[in-house]
Structure 1
Amino acid sequence: MSTPDRESYTVGWICAVQTEYVAAQCFLDERHGKPESVHTNDNNHYTLGRIAGHNVVIAILPSGEYGISSATAVIKDMLHTFPNIRIGLMVGIGGGATTPKHDIRLGDIVVGAPRDGNGGVLQYDFGKMNQTLDQNEGQNQDQGQSFQCTGFLNQPPPILRTALAGLASRHEIDGHELDKAISDVLDRKPKLRKKYRRPDPSCDRLYKSEVIHSSKDEGCLATCGDDQSKLVSRPERSEEEEEGNNPAIHYGLIASANQLMKNAIIRDRLAKENNILCFEMEAAGLMNQFPCLVIRGICDYSDSHKNKEWQGYAAMAAAAYAKDLLCEVVPAKVAAERKITEVPGVLSSIERNVNEMRTNVQDTSDDVKSIARKMKSEKIDRWLSAPDPSTNYHKGLERRHEGSGTWFLKSKQFDEWRTSQKSSLLWLHGIPGCGKTILSSTIIERLESDPACQPLLYFYFDFTDTGKQTLENMLRVLISQLHHKLRDPSVQLESLYSSCADGRQQPTCRSLCETLSRMVEQAKEVWIILDALDECRTRGGSSTEGLLPWMSGILNSKQNIHLLTTSRLENDIKSEIENFTRIGSTEANHTAWPPDHIIPIQSSLISDDINAYIRMRVRQEESGLKRWRSHPEIQSEIEACLIGKANGMFRWAACQLDALKNCLEYRSLQKTLQSLPATLDETYARILRGIPQEHKQSAMRILQFLTYSARPLAIEEAIDAIAVDTEGDEYFNPKYRMPDRDEILCYCSSLVVAVSVEKDWRIGGGTYTELQLAHFSVKEYLTSDRLDNDINRHFQEIVAKGSIATVCLAYLLHLDHDVSTDELRNAYPLAQYCAQYWTDFATFAETKDDRLRIFIRKFFRGSHENPYRNCYSLYRPDDDGRDSFIHPYRSQPAPPLYYASLGGLLDPVKDLLDHGADVNAQAQNGTHCNALQAASAKGHEKITKLLLDHGADVNAQTKVASYYGSALRAASTEGHEGITKLLLDHGADVNAQTKGRGYDSALQAASAEGHAGITELLLNHGADVNARTPDEFELYSGALQAASNHGRERIIELLLNHGADVNAQGGFHGSALQAASVKGYERIVELLLNHGADVNAKGGYNGNALQAASVKGCERIIELLLNHGADVNAKCGFHGSALQAASVKGYERIVELLLNHGAGVNAQGGYYGNALQAASFSDHERIVELLLSHGADINAVGGLYDSALHAASRNGHSGVVNLLVSRGAYDPDNSDDSSESDADAKRRVSPAAEERSNSQSKRQRLEFTE
């Protein structure tokens, strides 16, 4: 038939994909020829024809393109070529959102109709995405996302709304014949029947939201099954419902976005909050410029269970409805409508919108990537749990006076250290109280402002905070700081996180050292400030355990590190620094030590600072010396006296200034100045002697707590501590609390300070006031033998700890209230502290303190009373309190014998046993199964023997998994060799398979934890060196695999010498060789290979050793494995191949290495199908380029995302998308082969990868939601 001129077409019909385009053409009453001409810049493909008297233009989006911006571009070109179009239809397929309110099934139709004041289409990615974090492990991370949808778009034009209302009325009265219309089309065109007919209703499966489809290459029936427990229960539609109403038609809100909705959890949330019926990807690009109606046939449920089985029928259903709708519209009425092109500014608006949308798409893509990076970074931060050194930094700045530290910042040594082209060291040492920490903060502030000295890392060792006293925590802080300061994400840190079971395990100190070293190598140059080395508890040992050897290692490595440290002049620090700087100076032109890299902070250097500090304090209004402001000669006298005697000690000067505040007239001032103590010791002795008798008990108690506690006290805790009466009948009464909390400093002025501290952001943030000893020298003095006799007795460790324990127990015994733990914490601030620490103090003192024993006995014998229950609901000592906040209230805690044994309280254990305690009682709410296991885990050998002598079952295990499973495994895990021998001598089953978490036997536990003596002891007692884990989902299978994964070289040799099978298979890691390779232990890999390890053995999550090493990024191990004959193209494991593993992780050099060794660039298999898709998914553009240059098939099909282009586009990686498109990538979903379904497509995932994916919910190894 001849084609009418272009001016004759009044209806525009838009299709997104080929299936929709085919369906639309089938419902034309007559088909016209091609348009004689089109606009110069029109890139659309058109089919022209007639429906119900309307001349209709049907257009399709370009192959491989979809989304809002593409739809808008199609409209723009259509209106240039067909300027007389008056109305539009967007007809095709979409994803349904079934809710209790809307029973939407596959094959149904959703029409975008105005509801609740909105226009029928909601653009949900135009809203704001508020990112929150669900910190509970195992939760789908998308549950932490909340969308605020603000983009309600224009409603359809009145002419279409009127037709819609009329059609809906007719359908309600008489039903419809859409299904018959589809059948008639298929009878006329039988070739379409296979793809476009209605599938069997049994194929309509709605999976529960938490069920994730784990394989893209198989249908849901094969992959997810039809287990009713996975499916949403829905009654079948009755024949009455079906008659004249098949498919069902729903009217309401359609949600449109630029990305495919594949997340059931977000789908449900949006559907519930906004009453959404359907999700699609194009309509929002039309509604504000193109007056149209959106019609969607439902082909899936907008979740991960995408399938093409229903797409053909859904497209037919939507097209059939669209034709029915046009039959309701009188052509003359359409002709009377205004041309869309006549709407003022519409074409320019569409043009502008196309450009804006493309910009918005890029911005949204960037935002999504930024949010994803931030979420991952925050997750790693929570896992690292690094203490916050900024509190020390700010405290130092607050105590600094103007000009402090200038002598050092202007020094030649500092300048040379800062600007050296090679590694450099400065060590500043000085006497107690000379201002080292203040100087550190001054240096950090100076370097922070210098762009040339970045990245800057810093850490303060702190005697008041146990979290800031070890090498391990220092490493955590430096790694966290460097991670946030690097321009690119730290692949090394992410690799460490992955190797620790995605954060479900903690890294070793050794692995932290190695990770920091590699991160420093990535940064190329770093500046590190470490304050107060003398306050570190782990100074000696190996380079992965001790601070000083670690310093030696990094300074004599090939990395460029500028390290500045401060400390007292301690012998071990002096000796070690002199030694390793001597070694460094012999290294060939690497380490540059200035001749004066060791700088004593002498009084002559800091005299100006101290003088300025004294003058500032004397003349400061709020210093307490303002009474002398009208007597400048007296102020000068004070200054001269203090300056003359300070001798380089800020701390000494501060204490004298505090004492002078009490001088109310000149005579007492003169007398005090004439009798100033010469040293800090004399100063502290005078302060203690000056405490009034009525304040002495409270002062001693505060000082005892602060001297021997593991942490400072919150000021509210300290107030309650001094209000406790351990001598009377009423141990505590809130009315005896101090009315003015700030006056607590009056008890021991100058020895104690109140500090404002920021709460950990992980528990809500905010600030609180903390009571601390004023200086490390205060604690040193109080624990020395230099105190006066009457003071000394209070601070003998056994006396002080006994006193603290008694106060804690007296306070706990007062808590005879049946209330929640939150109420207890709020009403009794000291309760949490007492519950957590009382046994630590009591264990030390219980044998020498009779009164303490009375309190302990009273506490344990009241195990059925509130104080006992409240204590162990506030804090569970068997899991370090982790569960106390998750399960805060338990009706009945574990029995007293369990907690007494756990805490190492020998006399109470004897007392409880003598009074009939059941030695084998199960600790139902305990982490360990009984008292014997608790004592064995904590290393209490005397209690262990006592329990065994009273008949404790040495092989008892719980019915459910406890932390260790058995007493023998507990002792073996924790390294208690004496207890291990004791248990074995009492008949412990050396080969018992335990139900505890982590390890499955005593030998496996000892081997993994590095306890060589215990490992040998167990072997000598008959431990099966080749015992294997029966459960394939366990982390390790056998002791050798566990030892290899933890880097225990000596133990590996021991196990091999005792006949360990080097090729034993099983467990998550598959083999010992794979377990060592994934952690990067090169020497162990070599050791195993030399003992005959099969380099190509397959099994485990990573498939083989080569893939494991590629996941870790261990280039030298990869070379070692390849040199030993590793098959570079082996197909196995989650990633399918080593090349795919390296590609998804972003290791460019390893990808190149594998390719150079013959890795098949187009090898198929694994979770991502091929290496190109893996690299595209992870946004590694340079690797994509590298793979393409080696012949990667840019349109290869398979894997999670079908193709590399899909992987990049669906994750918002626009750079990779542009690269792929420029090289010829296209969308396989829009290919010409319309007859092939997913089930027919020749796509393969390795069986191992498929099996691993299907079992991911049990393993909890991966989070598939990106």
Structure 2
Amino acid sequence: MADPLSIGASVLAFIGLADRIIRTCKYCIEAVEDAPKDIQMILGEATSLRAIIDSIGESSATSLVPNLHEKNGPIKSCYSCLASLEALLPPTMGQSQTGKRHKITLADLAWPLKQSKVRKLLAEISHHKATLLLAMSGDMSRDLKEIRMGIERLQGTISESETREIIRWLERTNPSSLHNIAFNKHEPLTTAWVTNSSQWKAWLSLTSETRLIWIHGLPGSGKTVLASYVIEELEMLCKPANGSVCSYYYCHYSHNQDETVPFLSWIIGHVCRQISWIPSELKRLHDHGCEPTTTDLEEILEIVVNKLDVLYIIIDAVDESTPREDLLLLIQTITVDKRFEKIRILATSRQYFDIEQSLTQISTSISMSNPMVDADIRRFVHSRLRSSNRLKRWHARFDEIEEVLAAMAEGMFRWAECQIQAIERLRDQSKLQQLLSNLPKDLSETYIRIFEAIPDEDRPLVRCILTWIIGHSQAAWVYHVGVNANLLLSAVTYEHFGSETKGQKSIIDLEYLKEICSCLITVRCVPGDIFDSWLEESPGLQAREATDGEDLYVSLAHYTVLEFLVSPHVCQPNFAFFAMSPELIRLKFAKSVLKQALAADPKGTSTDWIHDREAYCLTLGCALYLHDILAETDLQDLFMLYIHPSSPHYSRFEAIQSRIVQGDEGSRCYFLRHIPARIHCSTTEYTCSGTAATLMNILLLWSGSMHKELMPMIRRLLAGRQIQELLDTKVTVTFIEESEEELEEAGNGLCEKTLDGAVWEIVQSRQIFLDDEELSHSFHMLGRACVSIQRQISCNRPIMSA
């Protein structure tokens, strides 16, 4: 009779063998076209046997278990059969050196020759498994029902790595940094009127019919700070372990997107993270490989909510979704649909007509124009006056200043803050009374005075600063804390003076930047580790007095600054110089980024795109094709030089790509990883080889939604050449990729993938490596596009695009 130690070793060996077979079968099913049904049967038998042996291992004290482990017993016989099956399956090392799985065929498996032996072994396993189940049903503590449940749990288990990947896939737009920024502005003892109100108490109750609170107010009235306060209060009330969960989302102008799907995706991912559970339906949606639709996500939300007692959702700045019709429709659906009766929503926005029409009838409406907000503004002004070192010289007149500002603010915190900053900049004590007697009536007039006061010699510099701040915020970047201060100073110095000299660096420092931009910008301190893991909840942000350092970040002080810059107000003669349309801002920012990328030192080594100007421009440049700005011919020329492998800066890409692949793929702007690190063309004709390599990079960055923008650039690139000649050019390319092997010689988890072939063959082969669905789903359009271009050339249509 087998002893307990040998039984334990036998169980571990059996489970190890079963696990290897399960992995191999799953690999075959994914990689083999029309995989044989026998492989699915092997997977099922191995999975069920693993669950049975696992149960036996936990019940080894029962009297019958040792007999099952005898030499000729059913367990040894099953092990022998599984070992024989493993020998018939292909090894998992059949994957490529890159760790990426390639399609293999039935011929590779030699399956027809193995089929009869496989089925014989499966029949033998089925016989022995029946013996095991019969023995367990009569003698072991677990009955057949528990075994089946164990098998189902094993088959339905979502691994920890899969859970992380699914949540990462959902959380494309992470609003946590926006929340931290907003709550950092919260003044103690303010906004409590909301949580003390009867509307709030009714909303909290599950028995109440109030499922939606809509808080509306003027620009700058503190809606976002109020939302952050409500979120913090709810997070203290909710206990996910007890079925009550709070989640939130901040719409933001810098997202420049319809927030419907990002909102739903984040909420689902955030809730799943809190309750440590992923529904199998969500995994199937993820595994399908396509971008989820609103309908898909609504169905997942329904499943998730059924696991809870209540879900409280805060969504801020609904008006900043572009467009917002679908988002409003979704809020309506969640509010009135019986499927979501466990959900309570609190939404904030400006009081626009379309939002009012959508939400008034189904919500409890609360206006920010009320005496409680006025009292909060007074508290804010009181605290701000007494906490500023620059205002200490006015301490004798604090009461007077507080009274005037509180009376004229009319519910706008932003207006009050701008006036306080204006007082801080006063150097002549005799000017205070004049300022208080002639305060601007609203935010627009406040901004008019700020721009009028900027000296003529500083205006080009201020415009350049604002262009970079706004351009950064609207780039395909994941961070909402602003652009790093040192990077901004370096970029603006380069753009304004053409290069960075020591003397010019001393001209533009952070204090000077703050002085000339006054209350148009905000400089805040952000802990250095905030970018280490963008998926985790961001640590708190500290808006302390700025000092020179790498942890300082600059952003627009408020959305209303951007609104003013693109409004008709700026067309007035005194400051028309600052008039900028959204298109012009994107154009100027893109041109500046590409020019500075092209001028990057080829011998430079920095890959820190957060703090270093050159690394930033080299990394971000590849994402600029997302905008329609590439319709501009001068930008087309810059972009084609940027992705031309013979350009001196191109050698810098490899180090940056290595960092991206190693784990910094959180940003959707890292399209740089999709083009080769090194390219060698076999043709000796320099012009042809460079053009072919550039065309290949354009096609590797292809997105179907950019069809109209890229077509003129491709035609311009061809310059009369036959496209087929370029597509047939032989190249050798090297890509930097992540290795799935646990141990790498380099120890960094990276490997190189070298491919030889025609340009078109390289482009086609890379489709299976692109894990960004937004790019890979559009690859089928490439063939049609090239045919279209060639047809236009054949018809003697103009190839140069204006």
TM-score (norm 1): 0.42
Mapping 1:494-643, distance limit 5 Å: 494-501=280-287, 506-540=291-325, 546-558=326-338, 559-560=340-341, 561-578=343-360, 581=362, 597-620=364-387, 622=388, 624-629=390-395, 631=396, 634-643=397-406
- CA 1:649–1:223: 2 relative to 1, 3 Å: same
Alignment of 1:322-721 (within 5 A): 377-421=163-207, 422=209, 424-451=211-238, 454-465=244-255, 470-486=259-275, 489-490=276-277, 492=279, 494-501=280-287, 506-540=291-325, 546-558=326-338, 559-560=340-341, 561-578=343-360, 581=362, 597-620=364-387, 622=388, 624-629=390-395, 631=396, 634-709=397-472, 710-711=474-475, 712-721=482-491
In structure 1, C-alpha distance between the alignment counterparts of 2:291 and 2:483, rounded to whole Å: 28
Indicate the residue corresponding to 2:553 in structure 1. Answer: 770
Tell me the distance in 1 between the aligned counterparts of 2:192 and 2:287. Answer: 48
Aligned-pair CA distance for 1:856: 6.7
1:704 match: secondary structure: helix
Q: Secondary structure at the match of 2:315?
A: strand
- Deviation of 1:935 after TM superposition, in Å, equals 10
User: What does the per-residue CA deviation read over 1:748-777, in whole Å, with 9 as the maximum and x for residues that have no partner?
Assistant: 121111234422515998884321111111
Aligned letter for 1:748? C
Kindly indicate whether residue 513 of structure 2 is the aligned counterpart of residue 752 of structure 1.
no
Secondary structure at the counterpart of residue 214 of structure 2: strand
Alpha-carbon distance change, 833 to 514 in structure 1, aligned in 2, over 3 angstroms:
farther
Mapped partners of 1:554, 1:893: distance in 2: 55
* Per-residue deviation, residues 1215-1238 of structure 1 (Å, max 9, x unmatched): xxxxxxxxxxxxxxxxxxxxxxxx
Change in Cα spacing, 1:815 to 1:733, as seen in structure 2 (3 Å) is farther
1:228/1:716 CA distance change after superposition, 3 Å: closer
Counterpart residue type for residue 749 of structure 1: S
For structure 1, which segment, 695-704 or 666-675, has the greater mean C-alpha deviation from structure 2 after superposition? Answer: 695-704
Per the TM alignment, residue 441 of structure 1 is displaced from its structure 2 partner at its CA by 1.5
Look up the match of 2:86: 223
Which amino acid in 1 is paired with 2:562? K
* Residues 7-66 of structure 1: per-residue CA shift (max 9 Å, x gap): xxxxxxxxxxx24xxxxxxxxxxxxxxxxxxxxxxxxxxxxxxxxxxxxxxxx449x985
Unaligned stretches of 5+ in structure 1? 1-17, 20-59, 68-91, 97-136, 139-192, 200-214, 232-306, 309-367, 541-545, 582-592, 896-912, 989-1266
Distance 1:218 1:861 in 2: 56
CA distance in 1, matches of 2:186, 2:399: 22
Please list every run of 5 or more consecutive structure 2 residues that lacks an aligned counterpart in the other structure. Answer: 15-29, 32-69, 95-123, 126-153, 476-481, 542-550, 729-758, 793-802
Q: Which residue of 2 aligns with 1:959?
A: 761
**Which deviates more, 373-382 or 397-406?**
373-382
Alignment of 1:45-84 (within 5 A): 60-61=3-4, 66=8
Q: Does 1:737 align with 2:505?
A: yes
* Structure ranking higher in helix proportion: 2
CA change 1:866–1:942 in 2 (3 A) is closer
Query: Matched residues in 2 for 1:893 and 1:719: separation?
Result: 37
Equivalent residue letter for 2:522: V
Q: Deviations over 1:1063-1121 (max 9, x none)?
A: xxxxxxxxxxxxxxxxxxxxxxxxxxxxxxxxxxxxxxxxxxxxxxxxxxxxxxxxxxx
Structure 1: distance between partners of 2:791 and 2:393: 78
Spell out the pairing of 1:823-902 with structure 2 (5 A cutoff): 825=609, 828-833=612-617, 835-837=619-621, 840=624, 859=641, 864-870=646-652, 874=656, 882=670, 884=672, 890-892=677-679
For 2:93 and 2:783, the matched residues in 1 are separated by 48
Bigger RCO of structures 1 and 2 (CA < 8 A, at least 6 apart): 2
Query: RMSD in angstroms over aligned alpha carbons?
Result: 5.0
Is structure 2 residue 590 aligned with structure 1 residue 805? yes
The offset of 1:567, in angstroms, is: 0.3
Aligned partners of 2:428, 2:653: CA distance in 1, in Å? 52
Which of 533, 539, 548 is the equivalent residue of 1:761?
Answer: 533
- Deviation per residue, 1:547-569 (Å, 9 max, x gap): 11111111121132211100001
In the aligned structure 2, how far is the partner of 1:951 from the partner of 1:95?
Answer: 62
For the Cα contact (< 8 Å) 2:600–2:614, is it kept in 1? no
Q: Give me the TM-score of the superposition, normalised by structure 2.
A: 0.64
Q: Shift in Å at residue 529 of structure 1?
A: 1.0
Q: CA shift at 1:539, angstroms?
A: 1.6
The answer as to whether partners of 2:623 and 2:670 remain within 8 angstroms in 1 is no
Corresponding residue number in structure 2 for 1:723 = 493
Residue 814 of structure 1 corresponds to which residue in structure 2?
Answer: 599
Deviates more, 1:954-963 or 1:444-453: 954-963
How many residue pairs were aligned?
A: 604
The AA in structure 2 aligned to 1:959 is E
Q: Tell me by how many angstroms 1:715 deviates.
A: 1.7
* Contact preservation (8 Å) 2:415, 2:446: yes
C-alpha distance in structure 2 between counterparts of 1:970 and 1:606, whole Å: 44
Question: Cα distance 1:525–1:736, how it changes in 2: closer, same or farther (>3 A)?
Answer: same
Code of the residue aligned with 1:481 in structure 2: it is H
- SS of the counterpart of 1:940? helix
Instruction: From the superposition, tell whether residues 972 and 481 of structure 1 become closer, same or farther in structure 2 (CA, over 3 Å).
Output: closer
Tell me, yes or no, if the aligned pair for 1:815 and 1:867 is still in contact at 8 Å: yes
Letter of the 1:516 counterpart: L
Conserved? CA contact 1:699–1:747, under 8 Å: yes
Deviation, 1:602, is 0.7
Cα distance in 1, alignment partners of residues 354 and 191 from structure 2 = 27
Question: Which residue matches 1:128?
Answer: none
In structure 1, distance between residues paired with 2:495 and 2:231 = 46
CA deviations on 1:797-827 (whole Å, 9 max, x unpaired) are 35444432343233223313234453x7588
- Using a 3 Å threshold, how does the CA distance of structure 1 residues 780 and 837 change in structure 2: closer, same or farther? farther
Residue aligned with 2:234, SS = helix
Where 1:617 maps in the other structure, the secondary structure is helix
Mark the CA change 1:524 to 1:819 in structure 2 (over 3 Å): closer, same or farther: same
**Does the CA-based 8 Å contact 2:704-2:778 persist in structure 1?**
no
Amino acid at match of 1:953: Q
The one-letter amino acid paired with 2:328 is: L
In structure 2, distance between residues paired with 1:820 and 1:495: 45
Partners of 1:937 and 1:970 within 8 A in 2 = no
Distance 1:864 1:674 in 2: 63
Whole-Å separation in 2 of the counterparts to 1:614 and 1:93 = 71
Check conservation: 2:373, 2:411, Cα contact below 8 A. yes
